[in-house]
Chains A and B, each alone.
Chain A
Amino acid sequence: MVKDRIIIVGGRSKARTLAISLLAQGHSVTVVNSVAEDCRMLAAVDGLNVIHGDGTKPYILDEAGAGSADIIIAMSPRDEDNLIACQLGKKLYGIGRTVAMVGSPDKVDIFRRLGVDHPICAVRAVAKLIEQQAFLEEMKGMVSFEDGRVNIVEVEMDEGCPAVRKKLRDIVLPDGVIIGALLRGSITIIPRGETRLLPGDRLIILSAGGREIEAVRILRGVRADE
Chain B
Amino acid sequence: MDFFRRLTKVLKGENYYVIIGCGRLGATLAEQLEAAGKEILIIDKNQSAFDKLPESYGGMTLTGDASELSVLKRVALDSAEGVIVVTNNDNMNAMIAQLVREMYPGERPRIIARLYEPGREVVYRELGITSICPSELSAREIASCLGEGDRW
Which residues of A come within 8 Å of B, CB atoms? 56-59, 78-81, 83-84, 87-88, 91-92, 104, 106-107, 110, 113-114
Contact = CB atoms under 8 A, between A and B. Distances in A.
Most central of A80, A83, A88, A113 by chain B CB within 10 Å: A80
A83 B91 contact: yes
Interface of B: 67-70, 89-92, 94-96, 98-99, 102, 117, 119-120, 122-125
A5 to B, nearest CB: 21
Contacts of A56: 90-91, 120
Nearest to B117: A57
The main secondary structure of chain A at its interface with chain B is helix
A92 B118 CA distance: 13
A124 to B, nearest CB: 15
A92 B122 contact: yes
Contact of A88 (B89, B99, B120): B120
Contacts, number: 52
Contacts of B98: 83, 114
Contacts of B89: 80
Given A81-B91, A110-B99, A113-B102, A87 B67 contact: no
Nearest to B123: A87
Given A87-B123, A88-B120, A91-B123, A80 B102 contact: no
17 contacts: A56-B120, A57-B119, A59-B119, A80-B67, A80-B91, A80-B96, A83-B94, A83-B95, A84-B90, A84-B94, A84-B95, A84-B123, A87-B124, A91-B125, A92-B122, A110-B102, A113-B102
Contacts of B124: 87
A58 B95 contact: no
Nearest to B93: A80
